[in-house]
Structure 1
Amino acid sequence: MKILFLGDVMGRAGRRAITERLAGLRARLKADLVIVNAENASGGRGATAGHAQLLLECGADALTLGDHAFDQKDMMAFIDREPRIIRPLNFAKEAPGRGATIVSDARGRKALITQALGQVFMSRPYDDPFSALDAVLRAHPPGGMVQAVLVDIHAEATSEKMAIGHFCDGRASLVVGTHTHVPTGDAQVLPRGTAYLSDAGMCGDYDSVIGMDKAEPMRRFITGMSRDRFTPAEGEATICGVLVQTDDRTGMATAVEPVRDGGRLAQTHPA
């Protein structure tokens, strides 16, 4: 099975890139499933129900969120009605929605999609991601009732993401990091067969400061003072993510490669 995972969709530029280019990218890469992180799809803070529905209609088979999961209030009700959207397993005990879902490709092969939040340098102390993931992975071994398992670790610290990768090695097809918006160059298959990438990057305008228009972030760094709100940059977006190929029998990865499509990054890193 080939699974394409795309990093944080950032604002209007990211949504436009998915709307205009996802179908062609999926066909070119021959992806059986497409999973998209929609964490920043609406103005850089969460996803509205309408924007989430748009991403699904454009070809995403499932959406993951993150620490901004419920910044857009209509998501709190919508997530209970839409099983293809998941929030982090360890977001909060009373959070609506689910932390894992199972999707099927055109051939009926199933993949478990799950997500956890890191604890290091994050905005608040979330529950332990290791124990949260352990329970889900024990119940869904790859190569059993599901042919693949994808883990989105939404975290700030690369060390924590790497620890999650090794913790899941042999129990997941892919562990991929999100949240920092900066794609990393460490795509690899770990010793027990799990593909790993510290961060998929964002689907957004890279002529920016992690997706935000440059002026206000630079002003705050240089002067220590704020003047305006952060607003997403709206130039041409680079679609960033990772493509993993798995063995249906074992669920383990046989190949993994980063994906860059359009925008500034694709000028030097073609898909």
Structure 2
Amino acid sequence: MKILFLGQLIGKQSIAFVKEHLASLKAEHQIDCTIAVADAVTGGYGLGKNHAFYLRKLGIDLLLGGEAMLSKRDLVEELAQIHFVLRPANFTGIGNFGYGMRHLHTPKNQQLNIINVMGMMGFHRVHASNPYQLVNKILDNPKHPSPFTLVAFSAIASAEKQTMAHMMAGKCSAIIGYGAKAITLDAQIIDETAYITDVGRISAPFSVAGFTPESEIERYTTQRPRKSEELISDEIELQAVVITLDDETGKATHLQPLRATYPLNVKAPANTSAESTTP
């Protein structure tokens, strides 16, 4: 099994990348399943319903995210019926707002289980329960047993993600960290489990996490609220990983980081949900 895990999609440009380049990228790497971090697509913060369905139509099998995943009302109101979007499984006090786990079936009729969790440090808008206890409990008693299990972990602190890697190594197929918007250079196999601390982002190169340097400089130097502005460019930087799992055992055999700049020749669609200010 080969899984393409795309870094955090930032704004309109990332949608244009998916539209123009995803199909060829999947063909090049013979991908069976595509997952993307999508909680910064709409207005640079959150995921609107229309964008979610459009990305699904373009070939992404599962969209997931962390702190900002419940920031767009139009999506949240229907999350219980939208099975291809995952919020963190360890969100507290959210009632029936969607799912934190999902299993997908690949064209080879293999079942891939995905668990999405977030860390406990540095988040101010939402609070999460202990992700380590939850993941351990799920892996010990899976509802839909499969040798193919991926844990996606949104966290600000690298130590939280590294701790998860060492705790769960050998118990799942892959642990993919995200949330820092910069791909790390530690892609590795730990006890037959693929691991990277952060899968990065997909946005304009030479930006500040996908946004214009001018807007971010003003925000940080004046300490006044200011809407972050997406940097629009005719190029976009891909940060992602390709995970290769043994077809029989589900154990990781290879983890390939992807980092490359692509031209953009299509116009990105306009935002379809209310604009938001990044934190």
TM-score normalised according to structure 2 size: 0.88
One-letter amino acid of the counterpart of residue 156, structure 2: E
CA-to-partner distance for each residue in 1:116-169, whole Å, 9 max, x for gaps?
11112222542111112112222339xx83241111100001111100111221
Do the aligned partners of residues 56 and 259 (structure 1) sit closer, same or farther apart at CA in structure 2, a change above 3 Å counting? Answer: same
Structure 1 stretch displaced more, 242-251 or 5-14: 242-251
1:189 correspondence with 2:189 = yes
Measure, in 1, the Cα distance between the counterparts of 2:64 and 2:52.
10
Measure, in 1, the Cα distance between the counterparts of 2:76 and 2:232.
27
Equivalent runs, 1:96-245 vs 2, <5 Å: 96-123=97-124, 124-140=126-142, 145-190=145-190, 192-221=191-220, 223-226=221-224, 228-235=226-233, 236-245=235-244
CA-to-partner distance for each residue in 1:60-104, whole Å, 9 max, x for gaps?
111112100111111112321111111101112324011100001
Gaps of 5+ in 1: 265-271
What is aligned with 2:271? none
TM-score normalised according to structure 1 size: 0.91
What is aligned with 1:80? 80
Measure, in 2, the Cα distance between the counterparts of 1:250 and 1:62.
23
Instruction: Indicate if the aligned counterparts of 2:91 and 2:127 stay in contact, CA closer than 8 A.
Output: no
Deviation at 1:206, TM superposition (A): 2.7
One-letter amino acid of the counterpart of residue 245, structure 2: T
CA-to-partner distance for each residue in 1:185-220, whole Å, 9 max, x for gaps?
100000x21100000000111321111111121123
Structure 1 residue runs of 4+, over 4 Å off? none
Structure 1 stretch displaced more, 144-153 or 72-81: 144-153
- Secondary structure of 1:69's counterpart equals helix
What is aligned with 2:247? 248
- Secondary structure of 2:53's counterpart equals helix
Gaps of 5+ in 2: 264-279
CA-to-partner distance for each residue in 1:227-271, whole Å, 9 max, x for gaps?
74112222222121111111132211001110124249xxxxxxx
Instruction: Indicate if the aligned counterparts of 1:4 and 1:35 stay in contact, CA closer than 8 A.
Output: yes
